[in-house]
A and B are shown apart, each in its own frame.
Chain A
Amino acid sequence: MQLVFEKRKAVSRRAIVLVPILSFIVSLILTGFLLLAFKANPFRTYMAMFIGAFGSWSNFTETLVKATPLMLTGLGVTIAFKLRFWNIGAEGQLVFGGVAAAWVALFWSPFLPAWSLLPMVMLVGMMAGAVWAGIPALLKTRLNVDETLVTLMMNYIAILFAEGLYYGAWRDPEGYGFPGTKLFPEAAWLPRFSGRAHVGLFIAIGIGLLLWVAMNRTKWGFELNMIGKNKKAARCLGVNVKRNILVALLISGALSGLAGVSEVTAISHRLQQGLTMGYGYTAIIVAWLSQLNPIAGLFVAILMAGLLVGGDQVQMMMGLPAAMGLVLQGMILFPMLAGSLFTEYRIKRIDPRNSRAAESNEELSV
């Protein structure tokens, strides 16, 4: 007897809704035992996390602050993953977008009318993110260089490049030597609408909706889907695979770049430490949990942000060590990711004598 993962022929709608909810409940139960081991009341802990993230409007605005970059990077990653292009460089693209935004905000302002500064900051920031994602796309399509490694390595380059700037050439001369650039001129600030929540949120939601339409209702989206499912078949049908990969990655990088722009122009108003909070990596989880659906991605981003914001409450309200917050986040996510696997696959026992029948199905060996 043998166990195999068998791809489900059709994924039922009920499963799509039920599995994440059941996985979430399983997560809470499993995590509950861990909390009991630490002598913490699981219900109180979850409640503290929930209230911390969603319990009041001002708490919720903080969740939205975190959700905004997660939405943008999550959408960026989604486009790339749709093509099975493993862009794990959203973090670097975000940072590079932030650096370019700082460059425009700090050094172009004397030459531009005030009204045009913010649009220019956003445009150049998105272009920078696009360039940072375009390089691995070019390397992949021209030289067949593995994109996973290139995008990962380019994260470190972007992060160190940014550090070099705010510790060195761009350091605020009046900042008592503290690392960080001068404050941007106010014309380059992305407006906030409540607390620290800013209009980047609406931009992100708008892009999410647009992307859903583009991916599901246009020829471009159809081509992306086809390339993701089977490159060879797409090529045979006359789809320009290389060009599609390049264009998709430029968009992917531009979205992450925009996340960086909104972080520096709406939150910190300068380039400094704390730009890399790991949004670009969490974006990968957002993309997976949303099953590469842009609209689902928007909601997942808010949930993930809630988990991050609520995680602090584990310390602040419950007095548990900081590491516990991270453990909880991991333990809550793990069954959900596992659950999403079971929506698409099922475990099947097969009898070696009948293995022929199994071979005819698409398989994933364990």
Chain B
Amino acid sequence: MKKALTVLLVFMLAFSLFAGGQQEGAAEGTDGGDEPFKVAFVYIGIPGDLGWTYEHDRGRKYMVEQLGDAVETTYIENVPEGPDAARIMRQYAQQGYDMIFATSFGYMDPMLEVAQEFPDVYFEHCSGYKTADNMSTYFGRMYQPRYLAGLVAGNATESNVIGYVAAFPIPEVIRGINGFTLGVQEVNPDATVKVVWTNTWYDPVKEREAAVALLDSGADVIAQHQDTTEPQKAAEERGKVSIGYDSDMGQFVGDTVLTSPIWNFGPYYTRVVREAMNGEWETHQFWGGIDTDIVKLAEMSPLVPQPVRDLVDAEREKIVSGEWDVFWGPLKNRKGEVVVAKGEKMTDQEMLNMNFFVEGVEGTLDD
């Protein structure tokens, strides 16, 4: 017994020695010069997913490039959505981070909880709707570039079946599917968009399986709302084309990716971090369109013919100039009921709550 205790004590002593050593080291490191503004990012996936988290991390790096030594950033990857995320955010706040970005909708409630505990820390939540004095939301009108991508896909399909690998049946994803389908139907009223839900943002295996199932059922173009390039790779392997998402997936997969609706978070991150550093930051709900560059359509593949490129440019110009937008009436749901009358515009509130499919979508939804 005594021996056991001795071993335990020696062990604990060793531990505490190292503890002392480490704290000393840390103190030395922060001497000299101004404290940098510390920013932490909470990621749902890994920066190597080449999709959603890749784009956020590119945004982070862009921001660091712009602001230089004045900021210090870190990130944590693979954080599950739900209450557990609160622990991660609280730890960052306790470690003296000045600003925390959380990049998935499931972080909303945990972030609100932590934001109320740490009124001096700035919180930014991507894709949610709840705010506080020190918590804002940011997102982009991805349905706009998705509509443009739909024009490309509707033109490319020969079987008139377009497969769409989708994450969760939530308004964000539904908006994307509808915007895309409206684009498809604009150039090809006979084409349908077949949706398969994976119920995950990030699961390379599931994403690929869903794409393969869609290809097997006759789809010859694969679009997606996921975090990785797997659906694109599945299409390429079958000699079919695809529409990417999140990042310019053509870079990673090849010319079979006709184009991709993409995110561009860098300028936004730079702006809000600078505002927070200068004390000019105010609670906001940023939902930027294609005119703000937070969402874009990637460079098109050489496989896209010139007339389609011209059409996309013309439609893009209409959206940027405010002459027209994707969810302006007349708009019918897939049951044939009029959702937005002619001459009317869907409000942001309605778009954020969107829970129906437009004509041309095939898939399960409680609508």
- A residues lining the B interface (CB < 8 Å): 13-14, 17-18, 21-22, 25, 43-44, 46-47, 50-52, 56, 58-59, 62, 65, 163, 167-168, 176-179, 195-196, 263, 267-268, 272-275, 277, 309, 312, 315-316, 319, 321-323
Contact = CB atoms under 8 A, between A and B. Distances in A.
Contact of A65 (B87, B91, B168, B352): B87
B296 to A, nearest CB: 25
Nearest to B352: A176
Given A176-B171, A273-B82, A315-B76, A47 B15 contact: yes
B4 A167 contact: no
Given A47-B22, A177-B353, A312 B83 contact: no
A309 B87 contact: yes
A58 B91 CA distance: 9
A316 B4 contact: no
B78 A322 contact: yes
Interface string B78-94: 10111111111011101
B170 interface: yes
A139 B355 CA distance: 42
Contacts of B83: 263, 267-268, 274
B366 interface: yes
Interface in B6-43: 7-8, 11, 15, 18-19, 22
23 contacts: A13-B1, A14-B4, A18-B3, A21-B7, A21-B11, A44-B22, A46-B15, A50-B15, A51-B19, A163-B199, A177-B170, A177-B354, A178-B105, A179-B170, A263-B83, A268-B82, A272-B82, A272-B109, A273-B82, A274-B81, A309-B87, A316-B92, A321-B77
A196 B87 CA distance: 9
Nearest to A274: B82
A289 to B, nearest CB: 17
Contacts of A50: 15, 19
A47 B18 contact: yes
B289 interface: no
Contacts of A65: 87
Interface of chain A, main secondary structure: helix
A323 B45 CA distance: 11
Given A44-B22, A47-B19, A176-B129, A315 B366 contact: no
A14 B2 CA distance: 9
B106 interface: yes
**Top 5 closest A-B pairs, CB basis?**
A274-B82, A322-B78, A177-B171, A268-B83, A17-B4
B102 to A, nearest CB: 14
Contacts of A21: 4, 7-8, 11
Contact of A44 (B4, B18, B84, B168): B18
B288 interface: no
A277 B80 CA distance: 9
B169 A167 contact: yes
Contacts of B174: 177
Contact of A316 (B1, B46, B91): B91
A47 B24 CA distance: 13
Contact of A274 (B7, B15, B80): B80
B366 A168 contact: yes
A3 B235 CA distance: 54
Contacts of B109: 268, 272
A59 B94 CA distance: 10
A312 B109 CA distance: 20
